[in-house]
Structure 1
Amino acid sequence: MDKIPNVFDNAPLIGWIHNISKNQLKYLNSQIEELNLGREMRYIMIIYDNPNCSQDDLVNIYGESKANIAKSLKKLENEGYIIRKVNPKNRRKYMLKTTKKAEDVVPKIRQISLDWEIKVGIDENDYELKEKIKKIAINSMNLIDNKEGKL
């Protein structure tokens, strides 16, 4: 590991953020391999915390393609973790909700995630940092949505 700081001295911030995200997911999966959820566990958490969110919400949050999100949602639905209901306000969209099966694993996932944060040095004193990163993420989504980033 001594080589890592030298190799990544000039890495962009986004590279570090991507690294953190990937390693957190690897850690979560290593702790609950029996669920065989992969990145879908992140989707379960968002759906659990935001009942009636949509596929588009997940696309925006995670920057994944609609096709990848749809495939993951189908897997979660087939395995009994979520249900999809047609949105009465827009019949082309679905509202997502977790099932009892998902609600039973959420506390375990949340605890493993909290343990990971503590082990890597994230604590309750990092509230301002978390808010700053969230603001940057929202700004980056808005930049793409508004096409302001076009040259």
Structure 2
Amino acid sequence: MLMNDLSIIVRHSNAFLIRKLQKYGVGCAEHVVLTFLAKNNGVNQESIAQFYKLDKGAVAKTLGKLEEKGYIIRKVNEENQREKIITLSESGKEIITEMEQLLKEFNAAIFEGMSVEEIKTVEKLVGTISKNVLNHLKDGDDVND
């Protein structure tokens, strides 16, 4: 079953990263936000919540933890005083480098024995599935609606 297999991959990759990032005090939710900011530095809280389909309050709590640890900086948007722009701090950028190396290590293990072509096929198929899920769950809709 696809969902069971994907769940195993996600659970074990999270456990791997949490174990390896323990020295930085970074949990699973914090890792997810840092990963998003690595690719989308200088965004607002709502962008993160929308991308992952998460509650804004949960994202705010995670951002608070990251700010306390010195991994992000939140500044008031000069164009919209009610909004804060989130960027990675220098410490945040350093941990991203560590996370990228750990993900390379994990990917090498999970793709062991696969050709480059097979890996690209898996990534393309999973990417398509991810896009399909997002398209079918827009605006909080359920697949069964």
Matched residue, 1:24 = 13
Matched residue, 2:36 = 46
Runs (5+) with no aligned partner, structure 1: 1-11
Q: Which of 22, 36, 42 is the equivalent residue of 1:33?
A: 22
Between stretches 73-82 and 83-92, larger displacement belongs to: 83-92
Runs (5+) with no aligned partner, structure 2: none
Once the two structures are TM-superposed, the CA of residue 148 in structure 1 deviates from its matched residue by 7.4
Normalised to the residue count of structure 1, the TM-score between the two structures is 0.77
Take 2:46 and 2:6, find their aligned partners in 1: how far apart are those partners?
A: 23
> Does the residue aligned with 1:32 lie in a helix, a strand or coil?
helix
Matched residue, 1:100 = 90
Paired AA for residue 101 in structure 2: Q
Once the two structures are TM-superposed, the CA of residue 71 in structure 1 deviates from its matched residue by 0.8
Q: How many residues align?
A: 140
Once the two structures are TM-superposed, the CA of residue 61 in structure 1 deviates from its matched residue by 3.7
Moved over 6 A (4+): none
Take 1:70 and 1:141, find their aligned partners in 2: how far apart are those partners?
A: 22
Q: Deviations over 1:99-134 (max 9, x none)?
A: 001111211111111101111226754223223322
Normalised to the residue count of structure 2, the TM-score between the two structures is 0.80
